[in-house]
Each structure stands twice: as C-alpha cells, then as structure tokens.
Amino acid sequence: MVAAQPERDELLNGKRLACIVLECVDSIPQPVGRTKIALLLKGSRSQQIRTIDIRQVRHFGALGHLTIAQIQGIIEQLLSEGYLGSSYGKRPVIHVTSLGRTTMITGDMPEVTIPDELKLYVARERCRKCPHNPYITDCPGAGPNTPNDIPPPF
C-alpha cells in the first residue's frame, strides 16, 4: 500500500514561496517583466525564455506545479507589499527593492499565498462582462466589428 504524499503546495509555505520569487528575480541577468519571471519560475522553455541564460537563474522551474496566473499573483503580492518594484512605461521591469534585499539578507520573509484558480477564473469572467468589453454585443461600448460567433463561457 502506498502512503498518501502531501501536495507540493503544502510543502512550500508562504515564506518559502516569497524566498523563491525574490531570489529568482535577483538572479536574472537581464531586466525582465512579470510574465518572463513567471515563465522562468514555471520552468518554461519557450522562445521568450531562450534569450535568457537559465543557468544563472536561481530556482528555474521551482514553481512548475503552479499555473502562470498563480505565479503572477504571488509576484503581485510582493509588488504590493514593496518587496519587489516595477518601472513604468509600456514594458515595466521588475526588480528587488531595498526592502526585498534586506529581507533576503535577514531571512525574515513575508507570508504570501497561492491564489485560488477559481477566484482567478471568476475575476477574468468579471472582466469579460465589463460594460466596455467589445465582445459583448449589447454593450454600449462595443465596436462595429464585434464578432457574433464567440460562444458563451458556460
């Protein structure tokens, strides 16, 4: 009989997740945005990632069991708490702030949570139902080129 293995989510507590993300961002050899960071943590080998020397990136693929949206949610938590910073403009670049660097040195990591996939789905659907979504035909903000062949989400 095989004993039940704990889920990998349970093995990585919130402080360990924060440590993984901060160390990963700090080790990336070039400026990147949150999507590339999420792809690196997921372990992607996509065309976007091939320009980065992944041998230098700490924790490449360490969060492979999470979705890209969940990893981006963790990055957003660290951004909102000030451990990560973001530049402005068309392609914002993520970097470790002085608070994040101090946290990495002292080891006093913040507690982050893995976003729930269902909540992420509900948030996307709310956005789809936004009154300015061009794919909703009865929306006053819908454009004249609104496609009518898009199936409903359910």
What are the pLDDT digits (tens) for 117-126?
766 666 666 6
Find the domain containing 26 and state its range. Answer: 9-106
pLDDT per position as a tens digit, 84-132 = 999 988 999 999 999 999 999 999 999 999 888 766 666 666 666 555 5
Report yes or no on 47 lying in a domain: yes
2 inside domain: no
pTM: 0.72
Alpha helical stretches, state H, 34-116: 34-42, 68-80, 98-106
The answer to whether residues 124 and 95 belong to one domain is: no
Same-domain check for residues 91 and 138: no
Residue 4 domain-assigned (yes or no): no
Q: Are residues 51 and 124 in the same domain?
A: no
Same domain flag for 78 and 154 = no
Closest C-alpha to 59, from 37, 31, 84, 92 = 37
Which CATH number goes with the domain that contains 61? 1.10.10.10
